[in-house]
Amino acid sequence: MLLKKKDYLIKTNEEIELIRISSLLVGKTLAFVAAQLKPGISTIVLDAHAEQFIYDQGGRPVFKGYNGFPASLCISVNDEVVHGIPGKRELKDGDIVSVDCGVEKDGYIGDSAYTFAIGDVSPEAIGLMRITQECLQKAIDAAVAGNRIGDISEAVQHHAERNGFGVVRELVGHGVGRHLHEKPEIPNFGKRGTGPVLKEGMVLAIEPMINMGVRNVHTLADGWTVVTADHKPAAHYEHNVVIRKKQSEVLSSFMEILEAERKNSNLNTKHHL
Ligand code: MG
Ligand code: MG
């Protein structure tokens, strides 16, 4: 039977369960990384450990080799918004560190991200992290069947901007499933009541990227790392959610990450909601 084009966006319950397994494995991987965060550790060591962990759990790191990306994690520190390439850089006290991870298992992908605070982080950066998490929650609340993509977009933009933060325009959330980036695109800025209608069974990676200062960003000469134009910090949180009738269902989880943060005395947990 030929599928109509619009049907490609809707996942079966079986597919949703497979995405859930991969999404939860991403959460476990981010918690595994969280346990190792400390001043002096290099981001390439974190990446190597995470990659091994993913393979040990029967998964495959999908970022590695994606359009030529050289690592399993994106690790973006301070003014780096997303797509930071792990390297020799050592984390230090006062850094905020966004870790983004994608895993495929049994043909389906999970994609989730979390921003951590190392030690004595400024109150302004803690505020940025908290508001970005609130943006994600408001986006999830807006992501119900019958609403439109623009409802998600406006929820993020409104909350970020009323708190004086900049909303990145150049990068967006996306559908997720067999492929890392599927339709529809989910901008973190826009107008409610616009864009595609959300339907039950769509699975979305919702990922506000919020800057403490201006919204403008640029890409470094490495071709990947996106940094803020004013070099103020940025935060990034990402969940995978399935659209349902009254309330969307979050497939990924931060539970184990939160636990790992609390157990790691090098990490600051003041940003917890
Ligand atoms: Mg991601
Ligand atoms: Mg994503």
At residue 174, what is the residue type? H
Distance 171 CA to ligand 2 centre (A): 9
Mean of the pLDDT values across residues 116-131? 98
Integer CA distances (angstroms), 4 to 8, 9, 71, 156, 186, in order:
7, 10, 36, 31, 22
The tokens for 124 are: 């302004």
Q: What DSSP state is assigned to residue 89? A: P
CA angle 180, 247, 253 (to 5 degrees): 50
Distance 12 CA to ligand 2 centre (A): 21
Number of the ligand closest to the Cα of 30: 1
- Dihedrals phi, psi of 82, to nearest 5 degrees: -150, 170
pLDDT at 9: 81
Domains within the chain, CATH numbers bracketed = 13-263 (3.90.230.10)
pLDDT at 214: 98
Distance 174 CA to ligand 2 centre (A): 6
Distance 258 CA to ligand 1 centre (A): 18
At residue 269, what is the residue type? T
The per-residue pLDDT for range 41-74, each reduced to its tens digit, is 999 999 999 999 999 999 999 999 999 999 999 9
Distance 1 CA to ligand 2 centre (A): 31
Going by pLDDT thresholds of 50, 70 and 90, the confidence category of residue 8 is: low
What's the mean per-residue pLDDT of the chain? Answer: 96
Whether the CB-CB separation of 99 and 82 falls below 8 Å is answered with no
pLDDT over 70, % of the chain: 97
The tokens for 20 are: 């859930």
Residue closest to 241 by CA, chosen among 166, 132, 152: 152
Q: Is the pTM of this model over 0.95?
A: yes
- Judge whether residue 186 has pLDDT over 70: yes
The tokens for 126 are: 């803690």
Q: In what order do the strands lie in the sheet with 217-219?
A: 80-82, 226-228, 217-219
Give residue 174's region: left, alpha or beta (phi > 0; psi -120 to 50): beta
Number of the ligand closest to the Cα of 181: 2
pLDDT at 6: 54
Distance 118 CA to ligand 1 centre (A): 21
Whether the CB-CB separation of 217 and 229 falls below 8 Å is answered with yes
Distance 2 CA to ligand 1 centre (A): 31
CA angle 209, 212, 217 (to 5 degrees): 60
CA dist 83 and 165 (Å) reads 20
Whether the CB-CB separation of 91 and 37 falls below 8 Å is answered with yes
